[in-house]
Every structure is written in C-alpha cells, then in structure tokens.
Amino acid sequence: MSYFDAASSAPLHPVARQALQASLDEGWADPARLYREGRRARMLLDAAREAMAEAVGCRPDELVFTSSGTRAAHSGIAGALAGRRRVGRHLIVSAVEHSSVLHSAEAFEADGGSVTRVPVERSGAVTVESYEEALRPDTALACLQSGNHEVGTEQPVASVAEVCRAAGVPLLVDAAQSLGWGRVEGDWSLLTASAHKWGGPSGVGLLVVRKGVRFAPQGPVDERESGRAAGFENIPAIVAAAASLRAVRAEATQEAIRLRELTERIRVRVPRLVPDVEVVGDPVRRLPGIVTFSCLYVDGETLLHELDRSGFSVSSGSSCTSSTLTPSHVLRAMGVLSEGNVRVSLPLGTPAEDVERFLEVLPGAVAGVREKLGAPVAEAVVQGDALVVDSLGKRCPIPVIELAKVIGEVGVGGTVRVLSDDEAARLDIPAWCAMRGQEYVGEEPADRGSAYVVRRLT
C-alpha cells in the first residue's frame, strides 16, 4: 500500500518513535514540581522548547506547546484579537486558509467583529496588493498560511508581513504544511504549526507570539505554558515532536529536490495519460510533496475508492467526497474544477517506483469511473433557441456529463441551460467551459436550484 496523504498526517518519523519511547520513562512527572522526577521532566521540556525555537527561528520564551495545531490557531487568533481590541475589531484572512483559521474568523464575526476574506488568483496565491488594500485603521490582525494544504501553493508571506508591519498590524502565519521544510521567512508576529504534519506525534501544536505583540489569552487562566495553553504538557510527545522536526530538517534540502522531481513528474504526465484533466495550484511556487489535479466527468469519492483498491491512499477536495455536498473552499476560491479532484501528497522517502505505479494505475481507474457514470441520459428539451438540460437532484459530476453530451446538439452560438440544485455546479460548469473552449454566460434563477447558461463557441 502506498500512502500518498502526508498533507493530512505524515507517517510517524523513526526518530519520533525512538524519542517518544525513550522519554516515556523520564518525562511522566509534573515539570512544575521541584523533586527529582519533576526536575527531569522539566529538563526534557525545556530542551524540546529550545530545539523547537531554534528550528522556528524564535526565542524559547516566545513558544508554547498546545494540544494541536487547530488549538494553536484558535488560541493565537483569539488572543491577538483580544490584545488589540482597543485598535479595532477587524480581521483579515485569505480565502484559502485552513478551516481552523476560517472557523475562528466566523466566530469572531458572530461576536460582532468584521472580517475581510482576501481572494486568491487561479493559482491559489494571494497578491501582496490585495492584503495591503484590505488593511484598515481598525485592523487588529491579519492571517496568512505559508503553504496551502490542498494544492501546495506557497504564499508571499515575507512581502505580506512587510506591508502589515508598516501598517502596525501583526501577521499570524499558519506554518503547518511548511515548517518541516524550513523556517518561515519574513517579519511575522505570530506562528502556529502542528507536529503530525512533519512526522511527529499527533496532539502537539505550536504557538509562537513574538515579544512586543499585544496578546491576551482567552478562557480560564492556567499557570502552564506562560498562561497561553491550559493543561498538563504531554512531555513525551513534545520531545518526540522536537526530535522529529530536527531530523526532517536535516534531510529537507535533498529530500525537497527529490520530491519536487516526483511531483513534477505527476504534474506533467497526468494530463498526457488522462484526457480532460486540470492540474491546479502554482506550478513553481509550491511545497515539495503536494500535487493536485481534477478530472472531468468523474465522481471523486468513487475514484478515491478505486485508487484505494489499487493500493494508493490519496485525498480529495471534491464535493462528492464530503458530507456537505459542497466543493472544497480552497478549490471554490481558486475557481478551478472540483469534480474528480485528487490530492497526492508524498511523505518523506516515497520511492520513485511507487509514483510510477500510480501513473500506471490512474488512467484505468479514471476510465472505469467515467464508464460507470456515462449511463445517465440527459433530459433535454428545447425552449425557444436554447436547449435545456434538467439535472435537478443529480450530484457531481452528472450535471457536467449531461452538459457535455448535448452541447453538440446546438449550433455554434446556441446556448444550453443546465438546471441544477448541486452547489458544485456553480464551480464545475464554468471550469468545464474554460477547459473545453465554450463560453460560460452566467447563472440565472430557476424554480428549483439555478440555471447555468453555456454558449457553444466550437
């Protein structure tokens, strides 16, 4: 079985396993106590904090350990907003942030704050100018991930941090996906990360708050971790997290080169091997191990099951793999195709042979799914000079399949109106038009759902 979902959670690094087992015997006591066992635990905790701070590029007393990366994001955003409440109640986030950041923004908004969600380009990257334009006199905090968790696009953190610093606004960086590859450059103010993303154990997050940043921890006061993270520290897991980060950093330069070559192999060859595929994300400014593509006329969940049966564990941002039946917020913000979406994120040490085998298996898996989904017949009627396709009650990718079947039945310049009540159609039909050289006219209201109007150009 080839595990290609390291962006969700990387396999436990051998060094993390060794450190975890070794520290179980020494790090179980309360590090706040003065007796021998407590002092030993405190030494382990302090050493791990110093090692982690060195890897991040901050002072040890600026870094605290939390119970997860999500908790670090929630605590960091809430504390920074509360600390700067007198400045104002305006928060800036990008539209492609991790859900932990976006959920914090929603909670802040529900509490009366205002939030600006900065759009991204089709590559998934923000522009520095868009952040600069979003800054206001009452902006309390800006947030920006260092690298995207779904498509791998790296963000211009250093440049955004510069314009935020010039405006006197702290920038919080979610570095969960990138910290294993190196420090986050730039004059950022707060940083969060999660150990299981780089091969450490789950349940260990980082929150860094630079000296001079106004910060007011929220919730009941706790004496541990400078009052910023409540609860007893999981010292064995923290030690393992620090040890694994040092280990992956030691091999990061060479491994990044190797994984970039493998993901580039996927980016180049998948469109040649599989027709009607869109590779998404920035082709150059991207994290080493992540590559994402979407396949027209494919049910993402079925494709993932087919690949699983063939021995490959991959992830997807397709709406049809989600209980909400809505596309990934990242793909939606980028305006790219969401149906049949596959994210391949290679863990450290992935053999080139596994990637080659994946490229051999993928075309057959996609063709099999497309064959299964080719059976539905479009219910098309002519209304005036437009062909109407009734896809109400049908989920992705059926509306797009039915559109593709009938587009040739109208003359050049004629239109097809696709009736659909699936949220994914709002993203996938325009994306199909861009891929197939047809004109997406727009969305119109309908008795049920919406009517998506497409004009035939070719």
* The pLDDT of residue 409: 86
Question: How far from each other are the two terminal CA atoms of the chain, in whole angstroms?
Answer: 43
Question: Active-site residue among 58, 143, 164, 320?
Answer: 320
Q: Identify whether the C-beta of residue 209 lies closer than 8 Å to the C-beta of residue 190.
A: yes
Q: Determine the Cα angle at 301 with ends 299 and 304, to 5°.
A: 110
Q: Which residues pair with 387 in a beta bridge?
A: 382, 416
CA distance 349 to 213: 39
CA distance 246 to 260: 21
* The pLDDT of residue 378: 37
* The pLDDT of residue 65: 97
Q: Identify whether the C-beta of residue 320 lies closer than 8 Å to the C-beta of residue 300.
A: yes
Question: What single-letter DSSP state applies at residue 448?
Answer: S
Is 143 annotated as catalytic? no
Query: What is the full DSSP assignment across 372-397?
Result: HHT-PPP-EEEETTEEEEE-TT--TT
* The pLDDT of residue 182: 97
The position carrying tokens 């080719």 is 374
CA distance 45 to 60: 11
**Sequence-separated (6 or more) residues with CB below 8 Å from residue 325:** 319, 395, 422, 423, 424
Task: Tell whether the torsion through CA atoms of 161, 164, 169 and 174 is positive or negative.
Answer: negative
Instruction: Looking at 26-68, list the stretches that DSSP marks H as alpha helix, in order from N- to C-terminal side.
Output: 36-56
Closest CA to 287 of 457, 148, 449: 148
CA distance 292 to 341: 7
CA distance 10 to 12: 6
Mean pLDDT per 10-residue segment, the chain (458 residues):
95 96 92 92 96 97 96 97 97 97 97 97 97 97 97 98 98 98 97 98 97 93 83 94 97 97 97 93 96 92 94 83 70 91 96 97 94 57 70 88 89 92 90 92 90 92
* The pLDDT of residue 375: 33
* The pLDDT of residue 394: 87
What strands lie across the sheet with 277-280, from one edge to the other?
277-280, 290-295, 341-345
* The pLDDT of residue 6: 97
Q: Identify whether the C-beta of residue 25 lies closer than 8 Å to the C-beta of residue 11.
A: no
Closest CA to 179 of 55, 29, 5: 55
